[in-house]
Structure 1
Amino acid sequence: MDADTREAMARRIEQSTPEDLVSGLFCENAYLSIREMLGRDVADSVRAATWPLRPWASFQRYPVAELLRMMDFAADLADKQGLLTYPQALEEIGGWVTRITQGTPFSRAAHLAVGNDPHERLAVSQASARVLVTYGERKYEREGPTHARLIWKRELMGPSFLLGAYTVIAQNISGVHITVTLGPCLEPGMNFQLHCSW
């Protein structure tokens, strides 16, 4: 699988269970990223069309399937409007969600504690996902002084979203230029790897 597709997203939604939850903070940040990408009025219509009418509470958890439906709808709109391709739109959402999340006091404090060592920052970011989601397996592998591999199993957000997220994480590690590329990715985009080099 080279790029995320609507079909792959539909299969991930189908395979999600009621126990697969994501934090309200993550949902709110995804909505804000859609608003940045498509504008406030369109983002509001996307939310109205895909999300149950209830506010998000930052530390409450919600079914990830609801978030995936909202992201799918937004990425499809961006594609139909000629703004971005479907996988590019998901990547953009992942990047914006990460930018917003990294601006939180908790995230800034974690960065200060870890410092700017690329291996440490990438490993902590991979492990800290448990604060936001209840599903999937994540593994960080140091492959050498300037190489790392991030491995996901049963990751429902998919490869495009995480590629966007980790590109932003890499950009925010000062003093080094990190390249993030998608490695092996099996349909429907739940089992994949990202490779980081600097």
Structure 2
Amino acid sequence: MKPFRGSVVAAVAAASCLTLAGCAGDTVPGAAAQTTATAPAPTDGSGQPQADTVAWAGQVCSALAPVYQSLGAPPQPDLNDLAATRDAYLTYFENAGSAAEQAANQIGQAGAPPTDNGAAVRDDLQAQLNDLRDNLTAARDQLANVDTSDPAAVADAVRSAGQTAAGAGDAAQVRDTLNNDPELAAAVQQAPECADLPLGQPGSGG
């Protein structure tokens, strides 16, 4: 998903659909969220997910936590100092993009979960995070190119940056990727590292 062509405004629309957000009708090649489990999820015999599956979920959530932390506190616009606000968003996008890249690498190191669609799930999560990194980097680059001598242009760019930040932290697509597999969904519920992330099934309070 490489939709960035043009102004920062284009980045806003793309960021709403990027890795952590998910849009209706938007697909990622190889997306595990589109597959349908046809066999019972492997368990330890008691109906609970296997311990190594819970451990994998914990590794993934540990990798994702810095991404959510980076995206969760966007700069507060200062209408009296648009240049400073612009610089704050540049730092915000850079830090969040770096966190997404690190998370993708860590999930790669964690390997595939021990489920039937494990490799597809791992690849999908990495693709989502790499797209997030690319989109945030593109938004940062376009914001950096705004003419700071034009207050109206800076104001528009800052407004668009705020919209990009607001759209980037939605966990819908990551949640769907994990919850599509019953065992992974159960593992996410059990892994302590996942407790504070918005990855539970809709309506579960997670």
Larger CA Rg, structure 1 vs 2: 2
Same structural fold, with TM-score higher than 0.5 when normalized by the shorter chain: no
Higher strand share: 1
TM-score (norm 2): 0.28
